Each structure stands twice: as structure tokens, then as C-alpha cells.
Amino acid sequence: MFFGHISQVDKKQYPDAINIALDFLARTDFDQLEAGRYPIVGEHIYAQVLDLETQEKTTILPEVHRRYIDVQYLHAGFERIGVTPDLGTNKIAKDYDADRDILFYQNMENEVELIMRPGNFAVFFPSDIHRPACLDGQSTKIRKVVVKIEVGELGV
């Protein structure tokens, strides 16, 4: 997992595919885009612009992906994201959905929270369980962008 702010990206720290995502996030005016899906490098790297409302973390199932890396960027609002390594010890709530590339757990052990403010981003790999869109104090509307990067794009 990586965590940072879009205004302080050191490109030497990230693989090329993640830099493509971060460049997209830094140069795009998300106030001018409708919510929806936007290709960056076809289906290999694409963005989802989402308008959500934060919720109590007890109402949000932790999730993990197998084929894609998430670069989650908060454009507006306040959010907390729970995160922990996937050690294979959490009970599955919903089996893996290959079409959506998502598996939901009932809960997650040793969860820590990232406090997200506009401009913050977090990169979640298939080994990172995450619980996005959790409220920070009170429920609020947020605009976030999730750039999905196919794992093979890392070239490792």
C-alpha cells in the first residue's frame, strides 16, 4: 500500500503504471467530469469517478481485488478508509465475483484507518484489504476517483 498527496508525488518512488494513474489524477479537472468510467489505457488502466456518501464502517464490507490495483483519490469531502494486509484469516462475506473483480470479507483483523482529505491518494494492491467511504465524524458527500490498474501493467 502507498499513501500520499497528489501535490507531492515523487515519480521515482512508483512503477510506471502507477505514475500514469497519478498523472491522470493530477491533470484532470474532476469538477468538470460526470460520474462514470473513463479509459486511460483501454481496459488495462481506467478511472471511475464516483459520487458517494460516507457511512458507518460497520455498514461497509471490507473488500479486496485480485486482477486490479486500486489507486483511490479523494477529490472532495472527508473520508476514512480502513486497511490491513490480507493474511487469509478473515471470513468471506461474498465470494469472489470475477466480473467485478471483488471479494468481500465479513470484517478484517487489525484494521487501521487512513484519514483522507482532498488530494490524498492510496494505492491498494491485491494483498491489501480495504474498507472505503467510511465516515469521518459525520456522514458527508464525497467525490472520489478510483483508477484501476491491471496487475500485469506493473511489469513485475
Confidence (pTM)? 0.96
Determine the topology of domain 2-151 in CATH.
Jelly Rolls (2.60.120)
Give residue-wise pLDDT tens across range 50-83.
Answer: 999 999 999 999 999 999 999 999 999 999 999 9
Rg of the chain (C-alpha set): 15
Report d(CA 127, CA 88) in Å as an integer.
Answer: 10
Q: What residue spans define the domains of the chain?
A: 2-151
Query: d(Cα 79, Cα 139) in Å, to the nearest integer?
Result: 9
3-class DSSP state of 35: coil
Q: Helix, strand, or coil here: 24? A: helix
Which tens digits make up the pLDDT trace of 40-59? Answer: 999 999 999 999 999 999 99
